[in-house]
Structure 1
Amino acid sequence: MARLFVRLTPGAAQDRLDGWDSDPDGRPVLKVRVGARPIEGKANEALVRLVAGALGLPRSAVSLAQGDRSRTKRLEIAGLDDDDVRARLTAL
């Protein structure tokens, strides 16, 4: 199971992956924008759908493990390892 750290920006004009950055600890973080607002978990759901689609996986393979109310989130991705996830997302 892979772990993916994400910096989410809700309320964007469109859903998109904005590339890689680093958090203050030096850990790679994927920057993501979604159009959904952070109301009743809608932005989190949009994030999970977007990442699953980008990875070519069913929505059920991606879950929010940490950061429900934070802009920095940790996703767990079943069926891939960390290197596979990074390679697939970098190829986009």
Structure 2
Amino acid sequence: MADTPLAHLAQSGTQIAVRVTPRASRNRITQDEGQIRVYVTTVPEDGKANAAVQKLLAKALGVPKSRLTLIRGQTARDKTFVID
């Protein structure tokens, strides 16, 4: 778990704020000046992009995606997830 890029955030109750860019050329996560940016290739319709962000973020954190819950930003680019 320690070798994942964001593993230091993977504690229960931690809120993670991200900025999402849908329709990107490839899936990736960057961290600039403390802000986490998530790029997904999925289109933002019917929650598909949110699911892709959740999956990518869970992998980067080293936790199962079922432990990540979207608590803010369902339809916005700025989202907040909490680790259960």
**What SS is found at the alignment partner of 1:52?**
helix
Partner of 1:29: 35
| Superposed displacement of residue 39, structure 1 | 0.6
Partner of 2:28: 16
| Superposed displacement of residue 52, structure 1 | 0.4
Q: Which amino acid aligns with 1:40?
A: D
Partner of 2:61: 55
TM-score, structure 2 length as denominator? Answer: 0.80
Report the identity percentage.
36
- In structure 2, stretches of 5+ residues that fail to align are 1-12
1:6 and 2:10 equivalent?
no
Work out the CA distance in 2 between the residues paired with 1:39 and 1:45.
11
TM-score, structure 1 length as denominator? Answer: 0.74
Work out the CA distance in 1 between the residues paired with 2:83 and 2:54.
10
| Superposed displacement of residue 29, structure 1 | 2.7
**CA deviation vs aligned residue, 1:2-26 (integer Å, no higher than 9, x gap):** 00000000001111002134xxxxx
Question: Contact 1:4 / 1:29 at 8 angstroms: preserved in 2?
Answer: no
Partner of 1:82: none
The runs of 4+ residues in structure 1 deviating greater than 4 Å are none
Question: Please, what is the CA RMSD of the aligned residues?
Answer: 1.0
- In structure 1, stretches of 5+ residues that fail to align are 22-27, 79-92
Question: Contact 1:49 / 1:59 at 8 angstroms: preserved in 2?
Answer: yes
Partner of 1:65: 71
1:38 and 2:44 equivalent?
yes
